[in-house]
Chain A
Amino acid sequence: MNVDEPVIHTHDVLIIGGGLTGLRAALSVFYAGLDGAVLSKVHPLRSHSVAAQGGMNASLANVPGEGSVPDSWEMHAYDTVKGSDYLADQDAVALMCREASATVRELEHMGMVWSRLDSGRIAQRPFGGAGFPRTCYAADRTGHNALHTLYQQVIARQIPVYEEFFATSLIVADGRCTGCTAIEIMTGKMHGFSARATLLATGGFGRVYSRSTNALINTGDGQALAFVAGAPLKDMEFVQFHPTSLFGTNILITEGARGEGGMLLNREGERFMERYAPESLDLAPRDVVARAIETEIAEGRGFEGGYVHLDLRHLGADRIRERLPGIRQIAIDFAGVDPIEEPVPIQPGQHYAMGGIDVGLDGAASLPGLYAAGECACISVHGANRLGGNSLLETVVFGRLVADAIVRDLPQYTVPQGDDAERAVSREDRRIDDILKKRGGEKAFSVKKELKDIMFSRFGIFRNAGDMEAGLTAITRLQDRFRTVSLSNSERGVNQALVRYLELEGMLILAEVVARGALARKESRGSHTRADYPKRDDDRFLAHTIASMSERGIEISFRPVSLGMFSPKERAY
Chain B
Amino acid sequence: MIAATLYLLLALPPLVWAAAVFDRIGTGRGALLAGPLRNGAALLLRPVAPTEAPDRLNRLLAPGWYLALALVGLSVVPLAPGLVASDLSTGLVLWGACEALTVVVVFLHGWSPNAPFPLLGAYRYVAIALPAMLLSMFVLIGAALPAQSLSVGAVVEAQREVWNLVRQPLGLPLFMALGLALTLRGPFDYAGGAELAGGTSAEESGPALAAWRLARAAMLVAFSAMAATAFLGGYLGPVLPGPLWLLLKTLAVMAATVAAGRFFARMPPARMLTLLWVVLLPLSFANLALVGIEVLP
Q: Decide if A and B are genuine partners.
A: no
